[in-house]
Amino acid sequence: MLLNMRRPLLFTALIYAVGVLLGEMWPQPPFILLIIVVTAALACVGCWWVVGVTEALGTHRANLFAQSAGLGALFGARMQLGFGIAFLMFAGWANHAFHTATLSPVDLRRLIKDEAEIITLRGRMVDTPVQRITRRESGSIERLLLMVDTEAIWCDDQWQVAHGRVMVVTTNRLDVGYYAGRHIDVDGVIARPSGPRAPGLFDYRQYLIRRGIHFELRTDEFTQWSLLDTNTPPSRPLVDRFRQWSTNNLARELPEQDEALELLWAMSLGWRTALTGEVKEPFMRSGTMHLFAISSP
């Protein structure tokens, strides 16, 4: 009882999480799951009504129906608990199904085939481009990652309405005008993300799918970028302005941007660009990697 009072929603969250896991392992049609959820909810309400009626009946006519009313209340309470658990579990299952199923006729999963295609993407930037640096023996490779909510695609010499979130991967240099909320046009090659390089390794495709991203758009040096809302641009997000102000102040009076400064940004601002494999390894060995988890936004 004390555990329940301290964490009143723990049991509820666990049952809901079980439903989400079932949806991950055994995908089912979302509308069938929705019918089950509604049925379980109505049954739960019906059991609650039965418990109330039998308790009232046992109170007012205790001499005649005390035993029957008590049994009815006990049975109704047990059934209410069972239907309540079923409701929570199937609600998590149905929620997962509605977020992963292909329901819209203009979903990108219906419009884009399994093969890579050259398209022009039009949409709204979900976040500000994030820089990633990969250091190799031959040198460092810099790229930008940004998520775009698709509004339309130019394919087969015509614009088509489309919906879906796309991860754009580019090595192009973008100016400060590209930030979360801007509407853009960008062309490139769209394809499904690559899977693990070997069994048991990190599955990048599944990682993106869990975030609602089913396609990557890769660009090259010939890619054309354009902003569509130059007349009435949205305001820059506050978090971007704060990050820019913070990085400038932390770099003040320092001669250059080196690894030490990048590590300072990573620890204080959660700037993950500097956290390459070589940088992470000493912290992982010393058991202090949690410092970056705490400082991350």
Same structural domain for residues 89 and 138? Answer: no
Q: Are 180 and 237 in contact (CB under 8 A)?
A: yes
Give the residue numbers spanning the domain of 117: 108-236
**Domain ends where: 236, 263, 287?**
236
CATH code at position 177: 2.40.50.140
Strand ranges inside 198-294, DSSP E: 213-218, 225-227
Same structural domain for residues 113 and 232? Answer: yes
Q: What is the pLDDT of residue 189?
A: 94
Same structural domain for residues 25 and 59? Answer: yes
Q: What is the pLDDT of residue 57?
A: 61
Same structural domain for residues 217 and 248? Answer: no
Q: What is the pLDDT of residue 78?
A: 81
Contacts of 42 (CB under 8 A, 6+ apart): none
Same structural domain for residues 63 and 21? Answer: yes
Q: Are 94 and 30 in contact (CB under 8 A)?
A: yes
Strand ranges inside 82-241, DSSP E: 117-125, 130-136, 139-155, 158-170, 183-191, 213-218, 225-227
Same structural domain for residues 164 and 74? Answer: no
Q: What is the pLDDT of residue 62?
A: 47
Q: What is the pLDDT of residues 16-53, one digit of tens each?
A: 999 999 999 998 999 999 999 999 999 988 888 877 76
For 255-276, give one letter per residue: b (16+ CB within 10 A) or e. eeeeeebbbbbbbebebbebbb
Same structural domain for residues 229 and 136? Answer: yes
Q: What is the pLDDT of residue 282?
A: 63
Same structural domain for residues 285 and 247? Answer: yes
Same structural domain for residues 60 and 178? Answer: no
Same structural domain for residues 190 and 273? Answer: no
State the total domains in the chain.
3
Q: What is the pLDDT of residue 92?
A: 95
Mean pLDDT per block of 10 residues along the chain (297 residues) reads: 61 93 92 94 86 66 54 73 92 93 91 89 92 68 89 90 94 89 94 87 88 92 90 88 79 70 68 60 64 52
Q: What is the pLDDT of residue 276?
A: 59
Same structural domain for residues 242 and 232? Answer: no
Same structural domain for residues 227 and 241? Answer: no
CA 258 remoteness from chain centre: 33
**Domain ends where: 220, 236, 252?**
236
pTM, two decimal places? 0.74
**Domain ends where: 83, 100, 117?**
100
